[in-house]
Amino acid sequence: MRRARKSGGAGSTALRVLMLLENSRFPGDSRVVQEAKTLVAAGCDVSVISPRRTGQSWRETVDGVRVYRFPAPVGSSGAAGYIYEYAGAMVAMFVISLALCIRRNFDVVHAHNPPDTLFLIGAIYKAFGKRFVFDHHDLAPELYLARFGNQGNTAIYRTLVQLEKWSCSFADQVIAANESHKILEMDRGGVPEKRITVVRNGPDLDLWQPTVPPLELGQGKRTVIAYGGVMGFQDGIDRLIKALRHLIHDLQRTDVICVIAGDGDALPSLKTLAADLSVDEYVIFTGWLEEELLVRTLAASDICVEPVESNSYSDRSTMIKIMNYMALGKPVIAFDLPEHRFTAQDAAVYVQPNDEVALAAAIALLIDDPQRQNELGSLGRRRVEEELAWTYSAAALLQAYQNLETAAE
């Protein structure tokens, strides 16, 4: 990667990157952490502005990344609540970025969505010669439809589409999470292909490895089924709980325990659903876990599940949890979605989308076939090692930054 010249100074120094992260903590989102660490390893000076979790410092350096935090917005619901949350976060992030611009300066503003309003900060700095990278994690319009469906507001959906278009059009370089996102960015966002680089999510093999010491969960007496990830209403965990009801009460498979690791706004309703369906004694909700503890928790499982249902959002989304499962050598069961197929290929059992009864039946069959479990786990680990690990994505990220610098010359 070429060196970036400081404004108004002699000689050249490392490219200075300012990352904006609103919807997750740092460290927290594995994609953001790995991108930041990759840029630092390549010689860049990286700073991240993110919300603060209780107990975190307001300012610290993590693995060479300077982290500056603002008060985490209070959880919100409804259009007014989200506007309040994002507006407050935007103001806080801009104030911190302005202080950093004066004290340290930076060459690139790298914004991680959601929300798709961060381009407003990037646009201000573009006017002063900075470059703007839009890291397109989620398809916000489709995510809105997945969450609210027919109860959604058409005006809000159209606004989200427009914000996405502005984010793409202002960007000097768009980073797409997969080929499905890239196609949408070209078709809906009007972005030329040369300004898009696909940087897929991928596990860090130093952390996600089958040899990690597992926690004691099933005590060897019960099959441990696991889910590990975000727990939003759009993530389909309610379908997993409904599948457990069929598995336990209809198929009489009481030799199981299901560990659901993670946190999110759907967690309270999921606990209620588990109790209502009389499966709560078979479910362990761990809450939010640091990544190392999450790895050890999933390592204790026998079968891992990705229950997100088929819709316009999930059909185009790459789920990092599937690759995490595969990296640990765990067999995967998932609904048959296009990006799931691309990710896992032959390392997963695919089920008719959105069918909880079929999901329960697939779990039961895999419980009774330990050899198949081992085969799937081995295939998954090998695919991650050979194609999907973060080391392959890191090269794509550095190419995106090379493209950014080449375009600026």
Closest CA to 125 of 188, 49, 197, 31: 49
Burial tier of 357 (Cβ tally within 10 Å: 0-12, 13-18, 19+): middle
Q: How many residues does the chain have?
A: 409
CA distance 135 to 196: 10
- The residues, any chain, with a CB within 8 Å of residue 328's CB and separated by 6 or more, are 208, 209, 210, 212, 295, 298, 299, 304, 377, 381
The DSSP secondary structure of 248-267, one letter per residue, reads: IIIS---SEEEEEE---TTH
Residue ranges of the alpha helices (H) in 246-389?
267-276, 291-299, 320-327, 338-344, 356-367, 370-383
Q: CATH number of the domain at 223-388, please?
A: 3.40.50.2000
Residue 82 — pLDDT band, cuts 50, 70, 90? Answer: confident
**16-202+390-408 and 223-388: same fold?**
yes
CA distance 232 to 270: 10
| Least confident piece of the model among 52-61, 214-223, 227-236 | 214-223
Closest CA to 79 of 154, 185, 4, 174: 154
CA distance 38 to 352: 38
CA distance 8 to 383: 48
Given a cut of 70, is residue 362 above it in pLDDT? Answer: yes
Residue 147 — pLDDT band, cuts 50, 70, 90? Answer: confident
Q: CATH number of the domain at 16-202+390-408, please?
A: 3.40.50.2000
Query: What are the tens digits of pLDDT across the range 83-94?
Result: 778 888 999 999
- Cα atoms in the Cβ-side hemisphere of radius 13 Å centred on 379: 16
- The residues, any chain, with a CB within 8 Å of residue 271's CB and separated by 6 or more, are 280, 285
Q: What residues does 360 pair with on adjacent strands?
A: none
Given a cut of 60, is residue 3 above it in pLDDT? Answer: no
Contact between 344 and 230 (Cβ < 8 Å): no
Given a cut of 80, is residue 13 above it in pLDDT? Answer: no
Query: What are the tens digits of pLDDT across the range 268-302?
Result: 999 999 999 999 999 999 998 988 999 999 999 99
Q: What percent of the chain has pLDDT over 70?
A: 93
Query: What are the tens digits of pLDDT across the range 85-140?
Result: 888 899 999 999 999 999 989 999 999 999 999 999 999 999 999 999 999 999 99
| Least confident piece of the model among 117-126, 149-158, 184-193, 331-340 | 149-158
Tell me what the pLDDT averaged over the chain comes to. Answer: 92
The full set of domain ranges for the chain reads: 16-202+390-408, 223-388
